[in-house]
Structure 1
């Protein structure tokens, strides 16, 4: 019987790759607690005895990062909820129902994946302006909440659900929505978990659309708040010390990384299972 387990060279290579991927995170976090002057004079060095939280204190005083977190959390909760509710329903319809023009409509949905985001920005902005939604949470939440990729993902996952299970539910008297809620949703939980992680990452890291849709501090998301701090590096803040601004930027970036790292660490098993579920052919 052949032993197909990975050997020591494979584990060694994976270990080196892991270190290469983790080093930028370590560098950002360790540099954020260094004295500001050392970030410039010794960017790769780190002395635990010199660790300081001055960069974090200055950043919290200069940057409305709490507002950015609150706005991002609001957008993530509502937009993510809409994605996880409506996209599985659309995927269910494409996967398990037959109706006139089904293939054409699904093809149009897939064609929208070929459109770059930058191509859609001006039409979307004109639409938001016509609706009077510029500088509102509606502009941040509604565009892209039901997207083609999520519909395609759910269609592929739901296509693998046996039709016999659905027929058994209908025979037992369940409504169509009842079949979806009681039979389909429990089966596709890995796919939903994977979609939830991807949706959170996309919404959390989104910068281009929020910076276009809102221009007041009240509605700025976390990534926009971080960008305003980055602009200080170019000298937009009069009298700002270059090293101090870098210290604040690294402190803010380190805090912004924490939620995504925690989510991925806690949900990595569900995310991997969801990726595998989404790869099933329909």
Structure 2
């Protein structure tokens, strides 16, 4: 039997960290460094003199940092127009996705109607189709409508994403039916029921969907490069893909080092907004992923 001396408090036993936990943390740290190393190299190299990027790519001297790559890049490349087009598509296409996908998912999750399972199965089948298979039919439709090189062609196709409908359906299916029935008894109409009862419950998953939607639209390249061939309608990713051609076209005799420096500067400028958005909303993104993992 152990006794405790008067006036002395029992000391808590220190927690022992298992060897498996330490190994897991070391592995995750190394994996994080492996993913971040190329990003850090690109960001730091964008501030190096162009000739140093080629001659000494792995070193960085803060005293020699310069903004020349950025200055030349903004003068040679219409990256501002690319940002503007991407912002327009992001706002309108993102709004359509976040409005209609949960509505469609609510219908599939909480209502019974003829051919419901067949329609939902059709939505799931579209997830298996490669994007390249749909390019030609969609392009022909845009041509018939006269929408080639317009914002309509960049925004409307794929605005209501099948994955978004599926994910929201899984989340909404977990909302208790008793909660909805109680709201109906209180006289709540169907759309008001969705807006006042369902949306507050699925807000974490909706925030996660918003982050995924922003990332997908911001990084989309295949469809914009096909349907927006003019420089006036090019999105940011299309501008980046033709960046080397724009530099050599606007700067006669531009060498490889100059092109590389401007490419890194443009990539850094394009990376920063997405990085800021993800860091600011990462908590909502993680909560949304966890909310979307429930089984409906």
TM-score where L is the length of structure 1: 0.96
2:32 is the alignment partner of 1:12: no
SS of 2:232's partner is: helix
Shift of 1:5: 11
2:246 is the alignment partner of 1:226: no
For residues 22 and 2 of structure 1, the distance between their equivalents in structure 2, rounded to whole angstroms, comes to 31
For residues 166 and 244 of structure 1, the distance between their equivalents in structure 2, rounded to whole angstroms, comes to 62
Q: Pick the structure with more helix per residue.
A: 1
Whether the 8 Å CA contact 1:232–1:240 is kept in 2: the answer is no
Alignment of 1:57-206 (within 5 A): 57-206=71-220
Shift of 1:6: 7.0
Whether the 8 Å CA contact 2:77–2:246 is kept in 1: the answer is no
SS of 1:7's partner is: helix
- The residue aligned with 1:48 is 62
Q: Deviations over 1:115-166 (max 9, x none)?
A: 1000100000000000000010000000000111110011011011111111
SS of 2:149's partner is: coil
Q: Which runs of 5+ in 1 are unaligned?
A: none
SS of 1:99's partner is: coil
Alignment of 1:264-275 (within 5 A): 264-275=278-289
Count how many residue pairs are aligned between Structure 1 and Structure 2: 282
- 217, 239, 248: which one pairs with 2:253? 239
Q: Which runs of 5+ in 2 are unaligned?
A: 1-14
**Aligned pair in 2 of structure 1 residues 17, 234: CA closer, same or farther (>3 Å)?**
farther
**Aligned pair in 2 of structure 1 residues 212, 187: CA closer, same or farther (>3 Å)?**
same
The structure with the largest alpha-carbon Rg is: 2
Q: Deviations over 1:32-61 (max 9, x none)?
A: 000100111111111111111100000010
- The residue aligned with 2:226 is 212
2:67 is the alignment partner of 1:39: no
- Bigger drift between 125-134 and 44-53 goes to 44-53
Alignment of 1:238-257 (within 5 A): 238-257=252-271
Whether the 8 Å CA contact 2:76–2:246 is kept in 1: the answer is no
Whether the 8 Å CA contact 2:94–2:210 is kept in 1: the answer is yes
Whether the 8 Å CA contact 1:233–1:246 is kept in 2: the answer is no
Structure 1 segments, 4+ long, off by >6 Å, are 1-6, 233-237
Shift of 1:234: 8.5
- Bigger drift between 53-62 and 11-20 goes to 11-20
- Bigger drift between 224-233 and 156-165 goes to 224-233
Whether the 8 Å CA contact 2:149–2:233 is kept in 1: the answer is yes
Shift of 1:237: 6.3
TM-score where L is the length of structure 2: 0.91
